């Protein structure tokens, strides 16, 4: 959609991932070997881009541990999206995804991504409404299932790169891995800077008090700004932690997170919310705007 000067590539057969293009360059992280090959149940190949996953990842109600070991839900990794409608600057795509949580409960869903793009002077905005619709025939209570859309924007990263966000309350920011080595958080008043230099893996979470998150790549002269709309009043943020399935979710909900990997990429992650009861036909939606800006 759009053009090579300002547009987005939608990879329908790669989990419906988005790859933003500006001035002929793909701005998201791209894993060419993953695109050239095909993943199996033994090896998950992540192509990069901007994807939609279900949250939580871990805990007894998460979707990455129904076998007891971490894996990407096969319903996600094998998903093939269909185009509902498309214009020059908009598109809506969807697919059916069957999920199984850590309790072994099956949860049939429809994933939908409503995408629009607009060009600025030295920037491109990608606005996406991420929706997961529950299409099962029985209500799901919090003791049985929680479910929220989770938008993962992958970006090439390394030495000199960092994430920046405003926050007046330091208790609104925490390390999801509880890693004593995670010393990357640097506070300057109400502004926090987190190095994403690839030194080791970590994930820093933020609650609803954080309004936005930016990624700064001084080597490419690139700033990526992600901001989500607030949740509907009947939904709450959830614990998205990647922890073993014998642990229950905590009551600490995540709105944003920054993930830094040792394989030259990072993610600005945005999580949606979940109602107390997921009734048949319930839609969990998350509206996210991502601006890519050249400096």
197/201 Cα distance (integer angstroms): 10
Task: Decide if 213 contacts 222 (C-beta within 8 A).
Answer: no
Given a contact cutoff of 8 angstroms between Cβ atoms, the answer to whether 124 and 19 are in contact is: no
pLDDT score for 46: 79
CA distance 9 to 76: 19
pLDDT of residue 117: 98
> Distance (Å, rounded) from C-alpha 99 to C-alpha 279?
16
Q: Average pLDDT of the chain?
A: 93
Phi/psi of residue 120, nearest 5 degrees? -105, -170
Question: What are the per-10-residue average pLDDT scores of the chain (295 residues)?
Answer: 95 95 95 68 78 98 96 93 97 98 98 97 97 98 97 96 96 82 78 92 95 96 97 96 95 96 95 98 98 96
CATH code of 6-294, in short, is 2.70.98.10
Asked whether the bond before 56 is cis by omega within 30 degrees of 0, the reply is yes
Q: Measured between alpha carbons, how far is 9 from 233 in angstroms, rounded to an integer?
A: 33
Q: What is the pLDDT of residue 155?
A: 98
- DSSP element (H, E) containing 236: strand 236-237
CA–CA separation, 252 and 241 (whole Å): 10
Place of tokens 């299409």: 135
Domain boundaries, the chain: 6-294
pTM above 0.85, yes or no: yes
Task: Please state, in angstroms and rounded to a whole number, the distance separating the CA atoms of residues 90 and 54.
Answer: 23
Main-chain phi, psi angles of 81, to 5 degrees: -85, 150
């Amino acid at each position: 959609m759009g053009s090579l000067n300002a547009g987005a590539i939608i990879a329908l057969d790669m989990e419906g991932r988005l790859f933003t293009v500006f001035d002929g360059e793909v701005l998201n992280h791209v894993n060419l070997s993953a695109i050239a090959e095909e993943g199996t149940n033994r090896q998950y190949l992540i192509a990069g881009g901007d994807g939609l996953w279900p949250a939580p990842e871990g805990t007894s109600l998460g979707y990455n541990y129904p076998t007891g070991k971490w894996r990407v839900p096969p319903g996600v990794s094998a998903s093939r999206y269909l185009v509902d409608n498309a214009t020059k600057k908009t598109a809506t795509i969807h697919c059916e995804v069957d999920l199984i949580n850590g309790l072994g409960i099956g949860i049939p869903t429809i994933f939908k991504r409503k995408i629009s793009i607009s060009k600025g002077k030295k920037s491109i905005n990608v606005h996406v409404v991420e929706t997961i619709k529950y299409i099962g025939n029985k209500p799901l209570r919090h003791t049985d299932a929680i479910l929220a859309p989770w938008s993962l924007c992958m970006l090439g990263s390394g030495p000199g790169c960092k994430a920046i966000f405003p926050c007046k309350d330091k208790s609104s920011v925490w390390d999801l891995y509880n890693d004593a080595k995670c010393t990357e958080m640097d506070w300057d008043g109400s502004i926090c800077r987190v190095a994403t230099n690839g030194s080791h893996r970590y994930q820093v979470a933020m609650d609803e008090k954080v309004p936005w998150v930016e990624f700064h790549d001084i080597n490419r002269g690139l700033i990526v700004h992600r901001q989500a709309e607030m949740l509907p009043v009947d939904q709450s943020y959830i614990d998205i932690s990647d922890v073993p399935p014998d642990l229950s979710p905590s009551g600490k909900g995540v709105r944003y997170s920054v993930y830094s990997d040792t394989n030259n990429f990072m993610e600005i992650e945005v999580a949606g919310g979940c109602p107390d009861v997921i009734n048949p036909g319930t839609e969990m939606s998350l509206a996210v705007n991502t601006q890519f800006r050249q400096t």
